[in-house]
Homo-oligomer: A and B are copies of this chain.
Amino acid sequence: MVSHRTVGRLSLYRRLLNGLAGQGTRNVYSHQLAAMAGATPAQVRRDLMAVGYMGSSTHGYDVSELTKSIGNFLDDQTGQAAALFGIGNLGRAILSYFTGRRPNLSIVAAFDVDENKIGRVIHGCRCYSVEELETVARENDIRLGILAVPAAAAQNVAENMVRAGFRGILNFAPAPLKVPAGVYVEDIDMTMSLEKVAYFARQGARLQAAEIVEQENSRVLETAKGDQQ
Protein backbone atom coordinates (compact mmCIF):
# COMPACT_ATOMS: atom_id res chain seq x y z
CA MET A 1 0.00 0.00 0.00
CA VAL A 2 1.40 3.30 -1.11
CA SER A 3 1.58 6.05 1.41
CA HIS A 4 -0.52 9.12 1.73
CA ARG A 5 2.51 11.35 1.29
CA THR A 6 3.71 9.55 -1.79
CA VAL A 7 0.38 9.96 -3.54
CA GLY A 8 0.45 13.66 -2.84
CA ARG A 9 3.93 14.03 -4.25
CA LEU A 10 3.06 12.03 -7.34
CA SER A 11 0.32 14.53 -8.05
CA LEU A 12 2.89 17.26 -7.66
CA TYR A 13 5.41 15.55 -9.92
CA ARG A 14 2.78 15.20 -12.58
CA ARG A 15 2.07 18.89 -12.50
CA LEU A 16 5.75 19.65 -12.76
CA LEU A 17 6.06 17.25 -15.66
CA ASN A 18 3.22 19.00 -17.43
CA GLY A 19 5.10 22.23 -17.02
CA LEU A 20 8.22 20.66 -18.47
CA ALA A 21 6.31 19.17 -21.38
CA GLY A 22 4.82 22.57 -22.05
CA GLN A 23 8.26 24.06 -22.46
CA GLY A 24 9.37 21.22 -24.69
CA THR A 25 11.56 19.26 -22.29
CA ARG A 26 11.70 15.62 -23.30
CA ASN A 27 13.36 13.98 -20.37
CA VAL A 28 14.20 14.73 -16.79
CA TYR A 29 16.41 13.39 -14.01
CA SER A 30 15.33 12.63 -10.49
CA HIS A 31 17.48 15.42 -9.16
CA GLN A 32 15.76 17.92 -11.41
CA LEU A 33 12.31 16.84 -10.34
CA ALA A 34 13.52 16.88 -6.77
CA ALA A 35 14.78 20.43 -7.06
CA MET A 36 11.48 21.55 -8.52
CA ALA A 37 9.41 19.69 -5.97
CA GLY A 38 11.52 20.60 -2.98
CA ALA A 39 12.45 16.99 -2.32
CA THR A 40 15.55 14.83 -2.53
CA PRO A 41 16.44 12.78 -5.60
CA ALA A 42 16.20 9.60 -3.59
CA GLN A 43 12.71 10.51 -2.53
CA VAL A 44 11.63 11.12 -6.08
CA ARG A 45 12.97 7.76 -7.19
CA ARG A 46 11.39 6.03 -4.21
CA ASP A 47 8.04 7.64 -5.00
CA LEU A 48 8.26 6.70 -8.63
CA MET A 49 8.75 3.07 -7.68
CA ALA A 50 5.06 3.09 -6.80
CA VAL A 51 3.94 3.85 -10.33
CA GLY A 52 6.07 1.14 -11.88
CA TYR A 53 7.57 3.23 -14.65
CA MET A 54 11.30 2.78 -14.95
CA GLY A 55 13.63 5.47 -16.12
CA SER A 56 16.87 5.09 -17.98
CA SER A 57 20.10 5.68 -16.16
CA THR A 58 21.38 7.74 -19.04
CA HIS A 59 18.42 9.93 -19.94
CA GLY A 60 16.51 9.81 -16.72
CA TYR A 61 12.76 9.73 -17.21
CA ASP A 62 10.87 10.33 -20.42
CA VAL A 63 8.59 13.20 -19.55
CA SER A 64 5.54 12.10 -21.48
CA GLU A 65 5.87 8.43 -20.60
CA LEU A 66 6.27 9.19 -16.95
CA THR A 67 3.31 11.56 -17.03
CA LYS A 68 1.26 8.81 -18.58
CA SER A 69 2.37 6.28 -15.98
CA ILE A 70 1.55 8.58 -13.10
CA GLY A 71 -1.82 9.15 -14.73
CA ASN A 72 -2.43 5.42 -14.91
CA PHE A 73 -1.57 5.14 -11.29
CA LEU A 74 -3.47 8.12 -9.93
CA ASP A 75 -6.45 8.46 -12.18
CA ASP A 76 -9.54 6.47 -12.71
CA GLN A 77 -9.60 5.88 -16.44
CA THR A 78 -13.38 6.02 -16.49
CA GLY A 79 -13.22 9.44 -14.84
CA GLN A 80 -14.44 10.49 -11.43
CA ALA A 81 -17.11 13.07 -10.73
CA ALA A 82 -17.18 15.36 -7.74
CA ALA A 83 -19.84 17.50 -6.13
CA LEU A 84 -19.42 20.76 -4.28
CA PHE A 85 -21.34 21.47 -1.11
CA GLY A 86 -21.76 25.07 -0.08
CA ILE A 87 -21.73 27.85 -2.63
CA GLY A 88 -20.54 30.71 -0.49
CA ASN A 89 -17.45 32.74 -1.20
CA LEU A 90 -15.20 29.80 -0.72
CA GLY A 91 -17.38 27.41 -2.69
CA ARG A 92 -17.46 29.71 -5.68
CA ALA A 93 -13.72 30.18 -5.53
CA ILE A 94 -13.22 26.41 -5.46
CA LEU A 95 -15.58 26.01 -8.37
CA SER A 96 -13.72 28.50 -10.50
CA TYR A 97 -10.42 27.04 -9.38
CA PHE A 98 -11.24 23.52 -10.52
CA THR A 99 -13.38 24.28 -13.53
CA GLY A 100 -11.81 22.89 -16.66
CA ARG A 101 -8.62 21.68 -14.99
CA ARG A 102 -8.66 17.93 -15.18
CA PRO A 103 -11.13 16.37 -17.58
CA ASN A 104 -11.48 13.13 -15.67
CA LEU A 105 -11.85 14.71 -12.25
CA SER A 106 -14.37 17.49 -12.47
CA ILE A 107 -17.06 19.08 -10.39
CA VAL A 108 -20.36 18.23 -12.01
CA ALA A 109 -22.87 19.44 -9.44
CA ALA A 110 -23.18 21.87 -6.56
CA PHE A 111 -25.45 21.81 -3.55
CA ASP A 112 -26.62 24.48 -1.20
CA VAL A 113 -29.50 25.23 1.11
CA ASP A 114 -30.00 28.76 -0.18
CA GLU A 115 -33.21 28.84 -2.24
CA ASN A 116 -31.88 31.63 -4.42
CA LYS A 117 -28.99 29.54 -5.65
CA ILE A 118 -30.88 26.37 -6.37
CA GLY A 119 -31.52 25.89 -10.06
CA ARG A 120 -28.92 28.42 -11.10
CA VAL A 121 -25.77 27.58 -13.00
CA ILE A 122 -22.49 28.87 -11.60
CA HIS A 123 -19.22 28.42 -13.47
CA GLY A 124 -21.00 25.94 -15.68
CA CYS A 125 -22.19 23.92 -12.73
CA ARG A 126 -25.83 23.46 -11.80
CA CYS A 127 -26.93 24.04 -8.22
CA TYR A 128 -29.27 21.65 -6.50
CA SER A 129 -31.00 21.42 -3.19
CA VAL A 130 -29.39 18.99 -0.78
CA GLU A 131 -32.62 17.01 -0.86
CA GLU A 132 -31.85 16.03 -4.43
CA LEU A 133 -28.46 14.68 -3.45
CA GLU A 134 -29.18 10.97 -3.69
CA THR A 135 -30.81 11.30 -7.09
CA VAL A 136 -28.20 13.57 -8.60
CA ALA A 137 -25.38 11.49 -7.16
CA ARG A 138 -26.81 8.28 -8.56
CA GLU A 139 -27.51 9.73 -11.98
CA ASN A 140 -24.04 11.22 -12.34
CA ASP A 141 -22.17 8.53 -10.47
CA ILE A 142 -20.69 11.03 -8.05
CA ARG A 143 -18.62 9.59 -5.24
CA LEU A 144 -16.41 12.54 -4.33
CA GLY A 145 -17.50 15.56 -2.36
CA ILE A 146 -15.95 18.92 -1.65
CA LEU A 147 -17.26 20.33 1.56
CA ALA A 148 -17.29 24.11 1.81
CA VAL A 149 -20.16 24.73 4.17
CA PRO A 150 -19.98 26.44 7.58
CA ALA A 151 -18.36 24.34 10.28
CA ALA A 152 -21.65 23.88 12.12
CA ALA A 153 -23.27 22.21 9.12
CA ALA A 154 -20.30 20.11 8.02
CA GLN A 155 -20.92 16.90 9.95
CA ASN A 156 -24.52 16.79 8.89
CA VAL A 157 -23.74 17.30 5.21
CA ALA A 158 -20.96 14.73 5.43
CA GLU A 159 -23.44 12.19 6.73
CA ASN A 160 -25.69 12.89 3.80
CA MET A 161 -22.77 12.30 1.48
CA VAL A 162 -21.97 9.00 3.12
CA ARG A 163 -25.60 7.99 2.83
CA ALA A 164 -25.48 8.82 -0.86
CA GLY A 165 -22.54 6.47 -1.29
CA PHE A 166 -19.69 8.98 -1.37
CA ARG A 167 -16.22 7.52 -0.87
CA GLY A 168 -14.07 10.59 -0.53
CA ILE A 169 -14.47 14.03 0.96
CA LEU A 170 -12.27 17.07 0.60
CA ASN A 171 -13.17 19.02 3.70
CA PHE A 172 -12.61 22.76 3.89
CA ALA A 173 -14.76 23.20 6.96
CA PRO A 174 -12.81 23.67 10.18
CA ALA A 175 -14.55 20.75 11.79
CA PRO A 176 -13.22 17.20 12.14
CA LEU A 177 -15.61 14.88 10.38
CA LYS A 178 -16.66 11.53 11.75
CA VAL A 179 -17.22 9.15 8.90
CA PRO A 180 -17.36 5.37 8.70
CA ALA A 181 -14.30 3.39 7.68
CA GLY A 182 -13.90 3.18 3.94
CA VAL A 183 -14.65 6.85 3.41
CA TYR A 184 -11.55 8.91 2.92
CA VAL A 185 -11.40 12.44 4.27
CA GLU A 186 -8.77 14.97 3.40
CA ASP A 187 -8.84 18.17 5.40
CA ILE A 188 -7.83 21.59 4.21
CA ASP A 189 -7.77 23.67 7.32
CA MET A 190 -6.84 27.19 6.37
CA THR A 191 -6.90 28.52 9.90
CA MET A 192 -4.56 25.82 11.07
CA SER A 193 -2.25 26.44 8.14
CA LEU A 194 -2.14 30.15 8.77
CA GLU A 195 -1.40 29.60 12.43
CA LYS A 196 1.40 27.26 11.49
CA VAL A 197 2.86 29.90 9.24
CA ALA A 198 2.58 32.46 12.01
CA TYR A 199 4.27 30.17 14.50
CA PHE A 200 7.15 29.05 12.33
CA ALA A 201 7.68 32.49 10.93
CA ARG A 202 8.36 33.64 14.49
CA GLN A 203 10.53 30.63 15.18
CA GLY A 204 12.45 31.15 11.99
CA ALA A 205 13.18 34.69 13.04
CA ARG A 206 14.39 33.41 16.38
CA LEU A 207 16.62 30.80 14.81
CA GLN A 208 17.97 33.17 12.26
CA ALA A 209 21.12 33.86 14.23
CA ALA A 210 22.36 30.36 14.89
CA GLU A 211 20.74 27.54 13.10
CA ILE A 212 20.25 29.00 9.67
CA VAL A 213 23.96 28.86 9.04
CA GLU A 214 23.86 25.17 9.68
CA GLN A 215 20.81 24.77 7.46
CA GLU A 216 22.56 26.51 4.65
CA ASN A 217 25.62 24.41 5.05
CA SER A 218 23.63 21.25 4.90
CA ARG A 219 21.77 22.49 1.88
CA VAL A 220 24.96 23.37 0.11
CA LEU A 221 26.43 20.02 0.98
CA GLU A 222 23.36 18.26 -0.27
CA THR A 223 23.55 20.08 -3.55
CA ALA A 224 27.26 19.71 -3.94
CA LYS A 225 27.73 16.08 -3.12
CA GLY A 226 24.31 15.35 -4.55
CA ASP A 227 22.73 12.04 -3.96
CA GLN A 228 25.67 9.71 -4.12
CA GLN A 229 29.28 9.14 -5.18
Chain A residues with CB under 8 Å of chain B are 1, 4, 7-8, 11-12, 15-16, 36-38, 74-76, 80, 82, 88-90, 92-94, 96-98, 101-102, 105, 143-144, 146, 166-170, 174, 176, 181-186, 188-205, 207-208, 212, 215-216, 219
User: In the assembly, what is the distance between CA of A90 and CA of B193, in Å?
Assistant: 16
Secondary structure dominating the interface of A:
helix
Q: Are A176 and B12 in contact (CB under 8 A)?
A: yes
Which residues does chain B contribute within 8 Å of A189, judged by CB atoms? Answer: 8, 11-12
Q: Taking A181-B215, A182-B207, A207-B182 as contacts, is the C-beta distance between A200 and B89 under 8 angstroms? A: no
Which residues does chain B contribute within 8 Å of A75, judged by CB atoms? Answer: 198
Which residues does chain B contribute within 8 Å of A183, judged by CB atoms? Answer: 201, 204
Q: Are B186 and A196 in contact (CB under 8 A)?
A: yes
Taking each of A88, A170, A181, A204, which has the highest tally of chain B beta carbons within 10 Å of its own beta carbon? A181
Which residues does chain B contribute within 8 Å of A195, judged by CB atoms? Answer: 7, 11, 74, 102, 105
Which residues does chain B contribute within 8 Å of A203, judged by CB atoms? Answer: 1, 184
